Chain A
């Protein structure tokens, strides 16, 4: 896969769409009923007004409006598990994929300090859009809104949990002189129930410059554990492993301007301790000798 193939938003979206299809087929096979939700479903149709509304919602300034955010970041799917015969088995579901771990050691240190988790590992730090995190916690029942996230750089490969169980580690507020500054939890609009995070671009992020929230992947359950403990689903190991194996094949994305190849491959070397399926990469002149040598002697 070329260096930038997954860099494009459209390709990342395609990856999420493909994984969503795999996940929904898997869930339906076990008796889950699913129904599309999300803003593209709510504002569906080709009429000019619907197209205009979808386009307005994508504009940065609409992040000032909680109402717009509620619609824009509404979860993708509504799921029910009628077999359980319990009213608890109706829930919102949002499916996410990530192929970009945290690359910068400095940022990992900031997240560790902020979360007071000195031992936090690179692979346990996940990233989701900050506004999505705000919406799940503010406008939907967070104990009945599940996040399922597929990521090749975490040993669990597919994690799942209720939003109310997911721990926020660090949340982008603004650019500071010595690096990004996080929100203080006491001022967080989620807890204060007032206003939004506001309009700000994340200078650390590539592409859309979307501000992010880091979440603790290590404390999320595997999809397997989530489905069996919450719904008593007896999952076929072979079928589950098929999903995991497909996630293992996803190559990590290297943000083109902010991360150089050495930083990228150093991170891979570190991640390979728990995720041995990850592969080193170089731009065009990739040679097996160079990769082998790098794997044994990471550079600084």
Chain B
């Protein structure tokens, strides 16, 4: 059984999996969709905010149990700012999750791991972290929600990206761009 420490380190160091490829597609896709709506999008993950690979390695090897390390390791994927919207609504983080690809079982819940959960609630503006979850689904392969205080998301109760943007950001997204991203994700989740 792996300790939290080992899990976090493995998670940060792991070699690229198919889910990582899905995540890259989701990140690139949401970047395009939000940029089209007038947002500026910057990568914000551990590897991006800490420029020095030696220092990242030092953190992962020696300090992984500390709050300081985890504020950095658990950094959301993207930092987003709108040039015109009220800052309170137009600035937020985005964290992307991919449900397992190589399984036929439909995912019911997404669990945010306890280490990430603790860090987000202690140190991040939790209500300003947009969660994006990709899953196997023909009709809605990408779902969205604010992180809020929940650590367990019932996937079916989350909004589609389009609905989320309309209801939470009060903007009308480009349907074509969303369709393109959805098509890409459906393909990635197709059984071999």
Task: Indicate whether A144 sits within 8 Å of B68 (C-beta atoms), given known contacts A64-B87, A78-B50, A82-B62.
Answer: yes
Specify which of B63, B81, B124, B125 is in contact with A90 (CB 8 Å cutoff). Answer: B63
Q: Which of A53-99 contact B (CB under 8 A)?
A: 53, 56-57, 61-68, 70-71, 78, 80, 82, 87-92
- SS class of chain A's interface: helix, strand, loop or mixed? helix
Q: Is the CB of A53 within 8 A of B40?
A: yes
CB <8 Å contact, A68 and B42? no
Interface-forming stretch among A37-45, A207-215, A233-241?
A: A37-45
Residue from A35, A63, A82, A141 in contact with B71 in the complex, judged by beta carbons closer than 8 Å: A141
A90 CA to B124 CA, complexed, in Å: 19
User: A78, B124: Cβ atoms under 8 Å?
Assistant: no
Stretch from B52-60, B97-105, B156-164 forming part of the interface with A:
B52-60
B66 pairs with A144, CB closer than 8 A: yes
Closest to B44 in A: A42
A62–B91 contact, CB under 8 A? yes
Asked if A277 is at the interface of the complex by the 8 Å CB criterion, the answer is no
Q: Does B128 contact A (CB under 8 A)?
A: yes
Contacting A at CB under 8 A, from B96-155, are: 123-125, 128
Q: How far is the CA of A89 from the CA of B51 in the complex (A)?
A: 20
Across chains A and B, the number of contacting residue pairs, with CB separation under 8 Å, is 102
Residue of chain B at shortest CB distance from A44: B51
Residue of A nearest to B122 (CB): A141
> Shortest CB–CB separation between residue A120 and chain B, in angstroms?
32
Selected from B35, B65, B92, the residue in CB contact (under 8 A) with A87 is B65
Chain A residues near B81: list those with CB within 8 A. Answer: 53, 56-57, 62, 68
Residue numbers in B under 8 Å from A63 (CB-CB): 87
A82 CB to nearest B CB, Å? 6
Determine whether the beta carbon of A82 is less than 8 Å from that of B67.
no
Are B50 and A35 closer than 8 Å at their CB atoms?
yes
A110 at the interface (CB under 8 A from B): no
Assess whether B55 is in contact with A35, with CB atoms less than 8 Å apart.
Answer: yes
Chain B residues with Cβ below 8 Å from A37 are 49-50
**B87 and A62 form a contact (CB under 8 A):** yes
A51: nearest residue on chain B (CB-CB)?
B40
Asked whether any CB of chain B lies closer than 8 Å to the CB of A139, the reply is: yes
Is the C-beta of B189 less than 8 angstroms from some C-beta in chain A?
no
User: Does A50 interact with chain B (Cβ within 8 Å)?
Assistant: yes
Residue A121, interface by CB 8 Å: no
| Nearest CB of B to A235, in Å | 23
Contact A64 B128 (CB under 8 A): no
When distances are taken between beta carbons in the complex, the residues of chain B under 8 Å from A80 are: 55, 58-59, 62-63
**Which residues of chain A are near B88, meaning CB under 8 Å?**
64-65
- Contact among B49, B62, B91, B123 with A141 in the assembled complex (CB-CB below 8 Å): B123
A64 in contact with B51 (CB, 8 Å): no
Is there a chain A Cβ closer than 8 Å to B177's Cβ?
no
Partner of B40, one of A44, A56, A61, A141: A56
Which residues on the B side are within 8 Å of A144 (C-beta)?
A: 66-68
20 CB-based A-B contacts, threshold 8 Å: A41-B49, A42-B42, A42-B49, A49-B40, A49-B42, A53-B40, A56-B40, A57-B81, A64-B86, A65-B128, A68-B81, A70-B124, A78-B72, A80-B55, A80-B59, A90-B59, A90-B63, A91-B68, A140-B123, A141-B67
6 more contacts with CB within 8 A, not counting A42-B49, A68-B87, A141-B67, are A33-B58, A68-B91, A80-B55, A90-B68, A139-B123, A141-B68
